[in-house]
Structure formats: structure tokens, C-alpha cells
Amino acid sequence: MKKVATTQDEGGLASATARRTVAPMPSVRPTRRAVTVASTIYRDLRSEIVSLKRKPGEPIAEKQIAEAYGVSRTPVREAVLKLADEGLIEIFPQSGTFVSRIPLDALPEAFAIRKALEEATVRYAAERATRSQIAMLRANLELQREMQETANYQGFHQADETFHALVAEIAGYPGFWTLIQQTKVQIDRYRLLTLPVRGRIAEVIAEHTAIVEALAANDAVAAIMALDAHLDDLQISVDDVRASYPRYFTAPGDPA
């Protein structure tokens, strides 16, 4: 039944087995999950989906991707499964794999989660922020203004994300931002689809500035209020959008 490596196996079964019964105790482990083909494909695919380069509802052909990368389907599958866990890809067994439609009815909840998590970060940050950390935030604000002046929308978005990450780091809980990013994905796709780089940058910077001032004053309440104002501006108007891109969304109450 089982043909192991053709060589002699030591007859005593119990005695020989214990090769590594116990764990690798804390030593300098090299790299955990190094850059592998699967991780590369994962990153690429994710980026293409979030940037809407791959449209919601579009089929995903594992074989084709595998050929494009010159690899087998195994690493592709690993990436696809991971994306399916994140809700960016939907797998219908024996039918096909597709880029997820944006679950409109789940967006308000995702937004509420983001709000809850970010409020916590600004509260902690207001309590703990040091002068040097406030200075880092101000430096980031300056960067945002530069991006505005040079009309570098891509760069502004990057700086915007860094701003929120910084707040979480100042709060002492960088993991908050990691989690926020995960829950934010569908919202990002939605916003990218609905408002094509609206000129709201000036307002966003003003709102960011208000948050920083509140943090600098160690005023948690004011910081939360400023954050709420910031987030509410990004709020969602689910209504009439579905009409324009009906096939990009799942109807409320349809599939979960």
C-alpha cells in the first residue's frame, strides 16, 4: 500500500520514528513564508481586483493565469483560495471562479466596523501621542499637501493610507490598521467605482489636520469627533449607483 523511499526502513516501528518530536525553540528563524510564486500571484491578482482592472463578475481562468506566469495551477489555486477567503473572489464549484461582485448590503456593516476600529485608534492615540509622533503626523500632512499641489492622486492616496496607519501605530496598536485594511477592501472598490478622483482632496486634508490638532492637544473627544466628520464624508449613498453598474453588485438579500 504504502511504498516509501525504497530503502530499508528500520524494523522497529516505534523506536525509530521520533525525528523531531518537539518544536524549533526560539532561534533566529530565517524567513517564514518567503517570497514564493503563490504569494506573488496573490499580490498581483489582489491588486488587479482592488484596482478594478478586473471587473466584478469577471471570470477567472486558473489555467490561463498559470500559463501567463509559466507555472502550474497549484500556486495559482493557492492564491485564488486566499482571495476567496477575503471575499474578493467567488468560487462556484464545478462551474467557475469569478471576481466578486461588490456586496452592497454588506457595505454599511463594513463601514461601521471601520468606524469602530478607527475611533478606538484615535482615542488611544490621543492619550499616548508624544511630541515626536505628532511631528511625524504633521510631516505626513505636509506630504499630502505636496501631492495635492502636484496633482499626484496616486501619491495622495498612498499618503492618506499612511496617515491612518500612523495613527494606529501611535495608538500602540498597529494591528488595528491591518484589520481595517482588510475590512475596507469592498468599500475601496465601491468608492473607486463611484467617485472617479473627485476633487475632495482639500477637504480631506483639512479633516486630517483637525484630527492631528486634537491629538496634539490630547483631546480624545475632539479627535473622535473630527474622525467621525472625516468618515461621514466618505459615507455611502447606496441608492442610485446600482442603476449605473447593475452587474457589478449583488442585490440586498440575494446571496450572502
Partner DNA sequence: CGTATAATATTAATATATCACTTTAGAATG
Partner DNA sequence: CATTCTAAAGTGATATATTAATATTATACG
Q: If binding is defined by CB under 7 A, does position 23 make contact with DNA?
A: no
- 10 Å CB burial of residue 161 (0-12, 13-18, 19+) is middle
Report in angstroms the alpha-carbon separations of 71 from 39, 48, 77, 147. Answer: 13, 19, 11, 39
In whole angstroms, what is the distance from residue 60 CA to residue 90 CA? 10
Q: Which is nearer to DNA, 4 or 243 (CB)?
A: 4
Q: If binding is defined by CB under 7 A, does position 74 make contact with DNA?
A: yes
Helix (H, G, I), strand (E, B) or coil at 135: helix
**Beta pairing, strands 96-99 & 89-92:** antiparallel
Express the helix, strand and coil content of the chain in percent, nearest 5 each: 65, 5, 30
**Beta pairing, strands 102-103 & 249-250:** parallel
Q: If binding is defined by CB under 7 A, does position 65 make contact with DNA?
A: no
> Which of 54, 88, 97, 207 contacts DNA by CB under 7 A?
97
Q: Which residues bind a copy of itself (CB under 8 A)?
A: 2, 20-26, 29, 31-34, 36, 56-59, 67, 78, 81-82, 84-85, 90-93, 95-96, 98, 101, 106, 109-110, 112-113, 115-117, 119-120, 124, 172-173, 175-176, 179, 183, 247, 250-251, 254-255
CB 7 within 8 A of CB 45: no
Select from a copy of itself, DNA, none the partner in contact with residue 254, using the beta carbon and a kind-dependent cut-off of 5 to 8 Å: a copy of itself
Q: If binding is defined by CB under 7 A, does position 53 make contact with DNA?
A: no
> Which of 48, 51, 53, 61 contacts DNA by CB under 7 A?
61
CB of 15 to DNA, least distance (A): 11
Which parts of this chain interact with DNA (CB under 7 A)? 4-8, 19-20, 24, 30, 33-34, 36-38, 59-63, 66, 70-75, 77-78, 91-97
